[in-house]
Chain A
Amino acid sequence: MRLHQAAGAGDQEYLTWAYQTHVTPIYQYVYSRVGNRPDAEDLTSQVFMKATSGMRTDVSVPQLRSWLYRVAQTTLTDHWREYYAEHTGALDEEVTRAPAARENAGAVQRVDSLLATLPDNYRRVLELRFLRGYSVRETARELNLSETNVKVLQFRALNRAGRERASTS
């Protein structure tokens, strides 16, 4: 049984509105997991298509929201699994975690506290590349390193940060 099955026109409008208000939060959530616009758009539409066709009856807005986040999590897991194969141990853990309603509000703080765990040179390279959008060449000039060294530093910093993230989540 689906919510919309017995719905009158008024309910349908309400339901449409309830879904529509969640597009931006779900998009931001997905974006923070994939980090680029084409994937975020693609996956966000998949989430809503799945969610609108599999919705249960009698749901409140908070239930709708947590359902959307759950669909988003499984969609993301499938995405990583599909394109980057085998190593899904960390993903499974992510999926079983309860969806956070205020997911995006905490994102900046989480990044700050993650960066704070890193050695100075690691933190610096990630700040320049990601938060200030420097190219490898600009970063090399700023840090007085070769471009190859910037890439190596970035590689080590991301791997280290990834392990920090896994151990604190």
Chain B
Amino acid sequence: MNDDPEQLDRHVDHLLRNRKPERMPLPDEDALGARQTAAMLRAARPGVGLPSKEFLERMQRLIKEWVGQESLPSLAAARPSRRALLLTGAAGIAAGVAAAVGIDRLRQPRAPGARMALVESGSWQSITALAELPESTPVAFRSGGIEGFLIRRGSQVSALSAVCTHMGCILNYSKLRDRFECPCHGATFRTDGQPSNQHETRLPALPALQVRIERGQVEVYTAF
């Protein structure tokens, strides 16, 4: 497929009307360079490229929430407002985004400070009987504000967060392709938690959750 003047003009036209250009694979670096140059020229027009008042207000509010959530993981788990980020209203995002923040914290060295008491109130939650777990097939669970997957290999069970590390949507497991898939932007992860598709190589791996087996029951440590 070659780039051509009509196609490039459609892209330019979208920029000039402040609309999202169509997505399409580009044939070469010249085509990419032409579009990046178009973006640069578009932004150079006086008065263009400043955020709207509405956007600024929304960002001020979101940042306040996000910074607040970082300090208050337990409260944040009950108030999964990170979903508000998806301005396009994508489906599939679910509660538990902030819970991942809680998990993360549990695995970090404890710092002094009153807020840490919230994390220390975490507890082991029984999820299912070991005998119920199929061999090597991840099983989704939700407990104590945590969305995750349990995977049994022989007598070993591991648990992974089911929250996509891209923008916080909840992952699905595809048995056909044996991987986790994000319904929002298409990120995929292997069952060991490592990101697996090329354009997402920069994504962090899915955090592992603490898991133990007590009297035949699989338990996961949650933020509650």
A interface residues, Cβ below 8 angstroms from B: 1-2, 4-8, 12, 15-16, 19-20, 23-24, 27-28, 31-42, 44-46, 48-49, 52-53, 55, 74, 78, 80-87, 89-91, 107-108, 110-111, 114, 126, 129-133, 136, 148, 151-152, 154-155, 158-159, 161-163, 165-166
Contact = CB atoms under 8 A, between A and B. Distances in A.
A33 B15 CA distance: 11
Q: What is the predominant secondary structure among interface residues of chain A facing chain B?
A: helix
A163 to B, nearest CB: 6
A41 B31 contact: no
Nearest to B168: A49
Given A20-B59, A85-B26, A86-B25, A31 B111 contact: no
Interface in B197-221: 199-200, 202
Contacts of B63: 16, 19-20, 23, 48, 52
Contacts of B155: none
Given A6-B113, A82-B185, A130-B45, A33 B39 contact: yes
Contact of B66 (A49, A80, A84, A161): A49
Contact of A87 (B15, B31, B82, B111): B31
Given A44-B55, A80-B32, 19 more contacts: A6-B115, A16-B63, A20-B64, A27-B55, A28-B49, A31-B39, A36-B14, A40-B49, A45-B59, A46-B85, A46-B167, A52-B67, A53-B70, A78-B202, A130-B41, A154-B5, A158-B37, A159-B31, A159-B33
28 contacts: A1-B111, A5-B113, A6-B112, A7-B71, A24-B51, A27-B55, A28-B51, A33-B36, A34-B39, A35-B43, A38-B20, A44-B51, A45-B59, A46-B85, A48-B62, A48-B63, A78-B200, A108-B44, A111-B41, A114-B40, A129-B16, A130-B38, A130-B41, A151-B6, A154-B8, A154-B9, A159-B33, A161-B34
A1 B109 contact: yes
B49 A151 contact: no
A55 B51 CA distance: 24
Contacts of A111: 40-41, 44
Nearest to A57: B111
Contacts, number: 228
